[in-house]
Amino acid sequence: MNEGTVDIQSELEKLRRPSYRPPPDNEEIKETKTAPSQETDDPQKYRLILEPALVGAMIAINLGQTSLQNFYLQTACTVDLGVDLEVCLKGDMETFQVSSLIYVIVAVKDVNVNRDNKVSVCNWKLPFNAVYCLVKPREGRKRTIIFLMLVVTLGDRMLLSAEVLIAYMYYRYKFHWTDVMFGSYLAYKNIVSFIGTLLILSILKRRLRLSDETVGMLSCASYILATSGLIAATMTWCVFMLPLVGIIAQGSQVVQRPLLNKQILPTEQGKIYSVMGSLESAMQTMSSPLYSLLYTKTVATMPDAWLLPGIGLAFIQLFSYLISRKLRQSQDLKTNPTDLAETGKNTEAKIPLRTKEVK
């Protein structure tokens, strides 16, 4: 055979053998000797990575919600069932909370994937870096829009915590509902809320192509109308009609994250969301006692008073969406003229070439 020819029959026979493995080249052998093995890095892919601020926020939220559920259980045990307080207080919930916290600290290990600083709960620089990532100067009006979305997020947290804390006692006092009636109403309200979310995503966003700010303003207006109707309602059937009025009231929670993601980099989401989670936990810790105090002082004379701060917060959120929409439009007006000029130059440069080709 010549040097340039290849024996095809012998090569095919080698490939048919199941135990045949092609020999590696010299370059591949060198690379395997110098490069570290991937088998040692594979276990790192399945280890948990946690932001310390986010861990603290989630622990605070879980402890707060657990304590709230304990309050509901004790209320139902002592008031509804008429059982002695000593019997209702029996349980190991506090032991479970402490053991869960110890398990998270001891069992969950951190993975050092951040090149800038070490990922560790004891690293005091991480919270400051996360806060600086939230408040640092940005191009155009992006930082202002981030602050406005932060106001919207904290407002949603206050409204949600107030509703979870006082709603059962409110409906029981004003409309004389039982726990079964209140549970049925919650199920009905959640179903309507789910349908409203589908309407937001399918019709308002996809069909009508409304902006996120417009959907947020409509959701705030829907919440204001539904809450005002709840203040004026006196019959049970009126209360069951109000979720239809506020069917898109949860739209603010749907659009605030996309608006925020447009202003930040993908690598900044973990830091910013961890700070926002911590602020949400702090806001819930401060707002819950204030709402409880307000309801306690006004339940005898005006049981609807605890709903008035929520209406005020909804108006603040509405203006936040309106301002962010104005800022975004001003940014588009600043960037569009340069883009139009560049596209105009490109079209002018392309037109003579096309005319010559046609001729």
CATH of the domain at 318: 1.20.1250.20
Domain's final residue, options 57, 92, 123: 123
Instruction: Determine, yes or no, domain membership for 131.
Output: no
- Read out DSSP for 21-66? -PPPPHHHHHHHHHSPPGGGTGGGGGS----HHHHHHHHHHHHHHH
Taking residues 111-123, report their average pLDDT.
52
Tell whether 170 and 273 lie within a shared domain.
yes
Nearest C-alpha neighbor of 298 from the set 283, 309, 287:
309
Please give the tally of structural domains in the chain: 2
In a domain, 338, yes or no: no
For residues 192 and 264, state if they share a domain.
Answer: yes
Within-domain flag for 8: no
Please tell me whether residues 319 and 183 are part of one structural domain.
Answer: yes
Question: 181 with 295, same domain?
Answer: yes
Give 110-117's long-range contacts (Cβ < 8 A, gap of 24+): 110/49, 110/50, 111/44, 111/47, 111/48, 111/49, 113/44, 113/49
Average pLDDT of the residues in 223-245? 94
Return the residue matching tokens 């700010």.
213
Within this chain, do residues 159 and 280 fall inside the same structural domain, yes or no? yes
pLDDT for residue 18 is more than 90: no
Residue 337 is assigned to a structural domain of this protein = no
Does 153 fall in a domain? yes
Q: Do 171 and 229 fall into the same domain?
A: yes
Is there a single domain that holds both residue 251 and residue 179? yes
Q: What was the pLDDT predicted at 230?
A: 95
- Comparing 51 with 304, the larger pLDDT belongs to 304
Q: What is the pLDDT, as a whole number, of residue 227? A: 95
Express each pLDDT in 273-320 by its tens digit.
888 888 888 888 888 889 989 999 999 899 999 999 999 999 999 999
Same domain? For 83 and 147 the reply is: no
Last residue of a domain, one of 123, 152, 179: 123
Average pLDDT, the chain: 75
Same domain, 220 and 306: yes
- How does DSSP assign 200-258, residue by residue? IIIIIIIIS---HHHHHHHHHHHHHHHHHHHHH--SHHHHHHHHHHTTTTTHHHHHHHH
Q: Is residue 339 part of a domain?
A: no
Same domain, 73 and 159: no
Summarize pLDDT for 125-168 with one digit per residue, the tens: 778 888 898 899 998 889 999 999 999 999 999 998 888 889 98
Is 2 inside any structural domain? Answer: no
User: Both 320 and 219 in a single domain?
Assistant: yes
Instruction: Give residue 94's identity as a one-letter amino acid code.
Output: E
Domain span holding position 112: 47-123
Is residue 137 in some structural domain?
no
Q: Quick one: pLDDT band at residue 331, thresholds 50, 70, 90?
A: confident
Place of tokens 């209140």: 182
Residues 183 and 216 in one domain: yes
pTM of the shown model: 0.65
* Res 271 pLDDT > 80: yes
